Amino acid sequence: MRNLSVARRLGTALLLSCLAGAPLAAETFTERVTPCLACHGDKGQSDAPEVPSLGGQPAPYLLIQLYLFREKQRVVEIMNDATATFTDDDLRRFSDFIAALPPPQPPSDGAGDARLERGRTLITQHRCNSCHGLDLAGRDSIPLIAAQREDYLVKSLREYKSNARPGYDPAMASVMAPVDDAQIRDLAFAIARFR
Amino acid sequence: MEETWGDEGALRVEPSPRRQAPPHREDVHDSACRRAAEPVARHHTSCTDARLLAAPALAQQPPAAAPPAAAPAATPAPPGSPLFGRPEGNPAAAKLAPIAPPPIPTAADKLPIAKLKVPDGFNIEVYASGIPNARSLRLGDQGTLFVGNRFIGKVFAIVKKDGKTEMKTIAEGLHRPNGLAYHKGTLYLAELSRVWRFDNIEKNLDKPEKKLIYDDLPKDEAHGWKFIAVGPDEKLYIPVGQPGNNVLNSDAHGQIRRINLDGSGAEVIARGVRNTVGFDWHPVSKQLYFTDNGRDWMSEDIPEDELNRITKVGEHFGSPFCHQGNLLDSEFGWGHKCSDYTAPVALLGPHTAALGMRFYTGSQFPDTYKNGAFIARHGSWNRTTKIGADVMFVTFNEDGTVKSKEPFLTGFIVDNTYIGRPVDVEMMKDGSMLVSDDFNGAVYRISYGKTNAPGR
């Protein structure tokens, strides 16, 4: 049901953007990308619990994640199934398409919340901005994290810390080693609301 | 020096109990070391590898301690981080980070082969493409090419038959299966912390069986992936890198050890080794030569990566106290003397990431190449202007010292950008040489002379 409504909402903009890229396969590609957008959001912003917003992600980061899903090196069943038959060209095409979606917007709540200040301090303390950038927008293989869903940030940071998500490279496992769960929640709160 | 997450640097995943081992030297229990320990590891009364212990120690503490409301601006980066030691507030330094290779290999028709340069009389061609993150190379007796990697978790076998190239997956679900050795029909494979053997591998490419022979290894991600080789003494040589850019390592790290081919009899044969990802034995002297990657963030131009030679068991090669044989470390060097350590036989350039090496014993190349060594340099990340990314050729004097070194295969850097990155070399039976490129997921073959028949 959700798929249908989203498909309708995709509307002209999406169709046009696909047409611009590859006229002949536009319809097919639109159909293929529709289920992605149903969960991840057609405007780059996800409304689904623990499902990340993907708009504005660097294409190389998306490509690596899709590759890891296809190869089952990152285990999320729905994503492993979705990418199982993808060719290398599919991986590139989906990455490029999704990267062009607009970046998510942070929620406007949280002003004056102590978690915001603690989280900001932790961002500096653990040097998130060394790799993710002062604007937390990422680059190349490093993801955009600003305004990411808070619950997904909590989930991801826990997975990196426990090594449930080893990652393409091991950077996050080391970064997370000294970060406890209370700090993870503060970090997620602040990063989700980062402007 | 090699990269951390993009490359040969890297990060610890979990604390190893062995890290509790006493540090090398009492005299490094200095106040700087203790200071580093205090904020997070107060219960460690002595400064036992404090920099290493700090992060895991906190991880194991209950989260009862209040979050640091008025924390310092930034805690030091974890010792395993590639940013460990980076100068603060320098915009040029802030732009440098390890370069992650793409997970997908470059299509065969898009490989940069036309831009690669070899000396006059040599030819270069694509031997195999489409091998994701192709790194360590080993050839079997029947010509099977085994290819390891850091990011893919699989080991591949390339089989050439009737003009066709087939790629088989002989193992998967592995953790950084970079290390490969082939000896008398058996393939040895080193993951980050486990070593396996595949007996009669070339007869069982479609149904390979692997047997675990050794896993008494730290699990640190930083410099944890392996290069392995079987020596003339019929032992398997396994390095254990230092778990970070510049760290005072425990007794279980910063070394090369060897084991019997069944996994027994482990023995440390070299210490003070930061991160070697390539070694081979001189065809005449049978001495072991190994490349070692120098530390990062000291300077754009120092220290240089090293080519070392082991002349006796247990030699110490200096790291982290002395780099490149003549440069005391700015942090750990105080109170030490470079003359207490074995100096390198050659310097291979700053941050160049000298990796795989083999001596040349074939007869296809001109006589001047006989018993010289080819060394793959992956190329720098910790440097504004990229250098390395080539295969060097080194010749030796009769006493084992280095006589000359020169670039052999070049062209991988265009406008300060990599179009490919060499990782390992391997010699074919016909005297030609294979070179792996993990950036493009390809293997090139270099031959000499007009005949350019492929393979063997």
Asked if A92's CB is within 8 angstroms of B102's CB, the reply is no
Cis peptide upstream of residue B239 (ω within 30 degrees of 0): no
Q: Is B66 exposed, middle or buried (0-12, 13-18, 19+ CB in 10 A)?
A: exposed
SS (H, E, C) A27-71: HHHHHHHHHHHHHHCCCCCCCCCCCCCCCCCCHHHHHHHHHHHHC
Q: Does B35 map to a domain?
A: no
Whether the CB of B83 is below 8 Å from some CB of chain A: the reply is yes
Asked, for residue B32, whether it belongs to a domain, the answer is no
Mean pLDDT of B390-410: 98
Q: Is residue B43 in some structural domain?
A: no
Does the beta-carbon distance from A177 to B12 stay under 8 Å?
A: yes
Residue limits of CATH 1.10.760.10 in chain A = 2-99, 114-192
Out of A125, A127, A177, whose CB is closest to B68? Answer: A125
ipTM: 0.71
Could you tell me if B310 and B337 are in contact, meaning their C-beta atoms sit under 8 angstroms apart?
A: no
By the 8 A CB rule, do B345 and B400 touch? yes
Beta bridge partners of B129: B442
Q: Which residue of A has its CA nearest to B74?
A: A125
Which residues in chain B have their CB less than 8 angstroms from residue A121's CB? 67-69, 71
Say if residue B7's pLDDT is above 90.
Answer: no
Whether B54 and chain A come into contact, CB under 8 Å, resolves to yes
The answer as to whether B21 is a domain residue is no
Q: Could you tell me if B77 and B86 are in contact, meaning their C-beta atoms sit under 8 angstroms apart?
A: yes
Tell me if B259 is assigned to some domain. Answer: yes
Write the DSSP string, B299-335.
Answer: -SS-SEEEEEEE-STTEE--TTTEETTTEE-TTT-TT
- Reference A6, options A30, A34, A31, A33; nearest CA is A34
Q: Strand B373-377 relative to strand B390-396: parallel, antiparallel, unpaired?
A: antiparallel
Q: What is the pLDDT of residue A138?
A: 93
In a domain, B117, yes or no: yes
Domain containing B318 equals: 108-448
- pLDDT on residue B76: 66
Q: What is the mean pLDDT of chain A?
A: 86
Between A73, A171, A182, which is nearest B11 by CB? A171
Q: Which of residues 17-56 of A touch B (CB under 8 A)?
A: none
| Residue of chain B whose alpha carbon sits nearest to that of A186 | B67
Q: How many helices (H) and strands (E) does chain B have?
A: 3, 29
Alpha-carbon distance A106 to A93, whole Å?
27
Point out which residues pair with B376 in neighbouring strands: B391
Average pLDDT along chain B: 85
In 3D space, the residue among A139, A142, A137, A141 whose CA is nearest the CA of residue A191 turns out to be A137
Closest to A99 measured CA to CA, from A57, A39, A159: A57
Q: Is the dihedral of CA B228, B230, B233, B235 positive or negative?
A: positive
Report CB contact under 8 Å: B104, A67.
yes
> B76 touching A, CB under 8 A?
no
Q: How many domains does chain B have?
A: 1
- Look at the domain A2-99 and name its fold: Cytochrome Bc1 Complex; Chain D, domain 2 (1.10.760)
What confidence score (pLDDT) does residue B86 get? 84
- Residues linked to residue B169 through DSSP beta bridges, in sequence order: B156
Q: Of A110-114, B254-258, B326-330, B337-341, which gets the smallest average pLDDT?
A: A110-114
pLDDT in tens, B272-308: 999 999 999 999 999 999 999 999 999 999 999 999 9
Q: What pLDDT, on a 0 to 100 scale, did the predictor assign at position B450?
A: 80
> What are the pLDDT digits (tens) for A149-183?
999 999 999 999 988 887 787 788 878 888 999 99
Put simply, whether A60 touches B (Cβ < 8 Å) is yes
A63: CB partners within 8 A, 6+ apart? A91, A92, A95, B102, B103, B104
In the CATH hierarchy, which fold is given to the domain comprising A114-192? Cytochrome Bc1 Complex; Chain D, domain 2 (1.10.760)
Q: What CATH number does the domain containing B265 carry?
A: 2.120.10.30
The larger pLDDT score, comparing residue A71 to residue B24, is at A71
Confirm or reject contact between B177 and chain A (CB < 8 A). Answer: no
- B75 at interface of A, judged by CB pairs closer than 8 A: yes
Q: Is the pLDDT of residue B55 over 60?
A: no
Give all strands (DSSP E) within chain A, no chain letters: none
What is the spatial distance between Cα B25 and Cα A64, in angstroms, rounded to a whole number?
43
Mapping DSSP to helix (H, G, I), strand (E, B) and coil, where does residue B32 land? helix
Q: How far apart are CA B70 and CA B92, in angstroms?
A: 29
